[in-house]
Structure 1
Amino acid sequence: SSLIITEQHVEESIVKQYQANKHKMQNIILPNAKIVRQDAFKEFSMVQFVFAPKLEKIEQNGFQKCLSLRKIVCPLLKSARKSAFSCCFCMQGLQCQHLEEVHELTFNNCRVLRQFENHKITELYGNTFSNCMSLRQIVANGVKQCHDDTFSRDYTSIYCPNIPGTSSPLLEPTPLITYDFVDKYSRCANSELKLYINCSVPKTSQYLSVFISKSTKILKDSAFSKCYWLTVVKIPNCTVIEREAFYFCHSLMSIDCSNVKEIGQRAFFQCFMMDHYLLDKVENIESSAFGYNFSLQFIKCPNMQTIRANYYDNFTPIQYIEGANLRAVENRNTYGPKLKVLRNQFLEEGDYELVDKPPLFTRVIFEKSEERRNMLKTVSSWKARSISARNVKFFLLKMKGIE
């Protein structure tokens, strides 16, 4: 699941030999690369982590439609051309202190991008950050020229002190989502809690980050629709999640809904960061409930008899389904490894692989500085392409089973 390329200039022709497995690659390691050429890693939809310590330039569409990309380490990056990261829906942040040049659509549709601060870029385009719903503010102290519509956006303010009369006030930095944060509030014992990011801003649904409620029985239509920062939800006594309840909750990473029996149409549509659902009592799921869940790896649903293909879509890389009463599983997934289904007394072989025990899953770890240092030390010592990718996994990935 890791791809290592040692060339300095990474051309599409070099990457082409890996095209057949591009929807299975989770990590890309480029220890010597200085330039990523046009379209080089376009549509590597399963990639979660890129390590390129010497990278200086990414040409047009270099990482376009890396749908699951969460983190790229490229501290020396100076230029990111048109659509370089377009549709990297899961990318939270980028080391951009040396970045000098961005272009149209460079970060288009980076829906979970939370931070962007740079002092060297001198020119901004109106659509460089288009549809970055979670990006609250762009801090660009060096910008001297802005193109049309740069400042006409509903959800992102821009701080450019060199352009009089256009800059919004400088806001507090927006924290990134970390697994420590998710684990802390997933275990929270509070009966009722609403946590908002940055207390200096109004407490509106847009900034809601944690929602815990033991009194909620039914979650109404569009209850949290477009709560782009919502990360943790605990509704243990809820029995119904109606249509589009978490629609466009791009940052949602954890939900406790252990008593829910019904899930409505598009309930979790475009919840990009959700990697699993534990649906202990769910009996009915409507269409597109998990549409465009680019991080989704497994679903556990003991009471379901049929998993229909229209619950998710071609871009949802689901790898494993478990259900003691499953009679039929429709597989619509064309991305990632072949779908695995836990064997039970009812299922027969189909367009999936029956397994006798849950597989292990990987989760990219990049918050811990010690692991990053170990990884850097290991990668910097590589001399040839033949180095095993297992060394990368040891430092990058934490094996995670199903609990």
Structure 2
Amino acid sequence: MGKLKHLGMSLLLATTFFSCGDDYDDTALRNDVNDLKSRVEKLESWCSTTNTQISALQGLVSALEQNDYVTGVTPIVEGSVEVGYTITFTKSKPITIYHGKDGKNGADGINGVDGITPLIGAEKDTDGIYYWTIKLGDADSAWLTDADNNKIPTTGKDGENGNDGEPGNNGEPGKDGEPGHSPVISVDTFEGKLYWKVDDEWLLDSNSNKVAATGEKGDTGSAGKDGEKGPQGEQGDSVFKKDGVKIEDGKVIFTLANGKEFTLPMLVDGLAVGIGGSDLFYASPSDNSIDVTFASTMKEEDYKSIVATITNGNEADWIIKSRGAVDTWKVAVTEPTFTGTDGTYTPGSAKITITPPANVKLSDTALLTVTVTDANDGTISVSREVKYFDGEIVACTGGDLSIKGLDTSVKRLALKGSITVEDFKYIRESLTALEVLDISMTDLTELPDRALRFGGDTPNTSLKAVRLPLSMKTIGYAAFTNCRALTSIDTENVEIIGEWAFEQCRGLVEVKLHDGLKEIRRQAFNNCISLTSIDIPGSVTDLGKNTEVSTSQYEGWVFENCTNLSTITLHEGLKKLYVSTFSRCGVVSINIPTTVTDIPDYAFQECQNLERVTWHNGITQIGEAAFLRCRSLKAITIPTEVTVLRNNLFDECANLQYVTLHHNITEIQVRAFSYCTLLKSEFFPYEDAYIDRAALPNALQTLGAGVFTDCKNMESINMQRTQVKNILRNTYYGCSGITTFYYPNVVETIGEFAFSGCSALVGSFFPASLTSIETNAFHLCTKMSQVYCLGSTPPTLGTAAFDSSLKSISTLFVPEAAISAYSSSSWNPYFKEIKKDLLHP
């Protein structure tokens, strides 16, 4: 009452001071004083009722913690009006709950400011203890804290166990438990205004401002205009919601003013069942069972069966919360036991044991339902939400993880709330033993760049799993670089995977990508050498895009060096691949979607296990060295829209036997098929004549240097109808299986070493268009017993154009009129004799 005396004295002094003088009219001041006094009296009455209700809430929480049952809900009637209920329990003391009521709007005035009614509640924290909460206005509920900023528990802690006594002596008694605390709500004045207090301390909002208990009174509105909002009207209830007690399906549901619900089982006709409350149950390996409690009056003759199920429910939000993982939750039931001649129920004998799915996340929520059937086939069911995590759970508000007092040797950590770049920095630098990081219950929308990146020579070798939230849309660049122990990742609702996101994650075996993913940027999975399969959804349009530099040399390499990546699934919708997308992967077979029209440079370079490529005729370009050293590839058909076979396209594909070409190809570039040692010269369908099957395309104009170098298995080549004028250096070098060769009708030059090592070649027919044969062009072609040259003028010869061994076996056939010219030219020393060509008169 000291505060009220102080207020009364202030009012008295004000009245005395302003009563001097006969002409002074103090009516307005007296009205203000009376109004303030009236508001104080109403608020004190409201506080008294609220404090009674806080005690009732404390009793309700105590009943929850003791797994108690409601035995009765008795209306309280004043006059003819029902004003509340008396709730009785099997073990706990009765509580009285009065009907809450809504606050009324204040009258209109000018510049009236609303007061705020604090809403008191209780909620269980991750440590399993219920604490008081407070809600101010539209703000979220927050923990109610003491002067030292500690959360205030609603009920007391358990006492400590006593020490066992020695034989013949009593043990020492245990220490008493700490009492719980009910916060006391009150009001007080400051600078002429009323503000809330809790436990005689000012109640402060998030900005450390005192919280007003009532609104300021507005002045009367002027004539003709509506006044603005004036003082707040009558207070609503601050603890229990209006009509906040209801009985439903064998349960009593209590709803607080802040919307929080508590549920207790009700004893009905001797049958009641509970599973430790209705609040969320956090299971763990050491705490994965829930006691099923029954009414103490239940006997064996009353009991028939118990069934437990764990499901994802029927509502859409359940499905979203569970992401399907709930389908693999499992439960096991231990039935109750009964003792004694009367079959008395044994408390604690019935249990439900929960087994979560593999890789369960803190955000995954299952619904456990227990149904008990009595001897008369009556049933009662109770449900409880379940989460599972094997480790420490910490709530964060953004940037404060380092001050949470974590043991830096923690191995399994789940974070809730908001986290920032600073929190990830703390994780990287301080939590070096961490094996599992679950951030699925944070509000992150973007995993920061370099969030968990370990660069250079200091990779992370402990972090095995990171579980992402459904809210996350972007994984920043280098977010997981060098996390070498990371084994799996589920990207959930992520739309963009940034550059280098998982580079050097050498232990990564499984990556789950989902529809909605749009981009996987350059080098995202580079050097993930343990990754075995990847299914890229059709929502991904770009695979390997670079957003920083527009030049292609900085794009691609998404799965480069994923040497164990044997299965790659691409879907319709993918439009663009970039350089070296799958270079040096372990892929065995690839199917290119019809939405992809361009195979980029080095796309499948050195995919040593690649055996089959299935693509479509809508492909218009195949890049340089796209299949270089794909040494398991056996057959390939060139799409009909591709007209240029680029440099080194199938270079060193040692097992490539069959290449099907088409006549629209205009260019085969340098070393496109070099060292394809098993390649057969059957480039067109079998229904064609053999000479046509061995033909190169009619539209061919350019044949690059070394195109067929060392293709030892080719037997015949027909270039007659091509438009190639120059057979360049090393084109058929080492093709030791070729026996016959038909030169282009328009050929003009044969380059250095062009046919060197074609040791099975038995002859040549050089058309009249030929003008030169360069150095060593036919070096080691030792079986050319017949050579025809149709030109009337001998083509010029480079040094050692033919093998010197031909001098003893080979005959040169030329037009009769040109015999003399050839005999006196550099051709003569290579041949045994020069004769008239009788085949081409």
User: Which TM-score band (shorter chain)?
Assistant: 0.3 to 0.5
Q: Which has the higher contact order (CA 8 A, sep 6+)?
A: 1
Q: Tell which structure's C-alpha radius of gyration is larger.
A: 2
Q: Normalization by structure 2: what TM-score?
A: 0.18
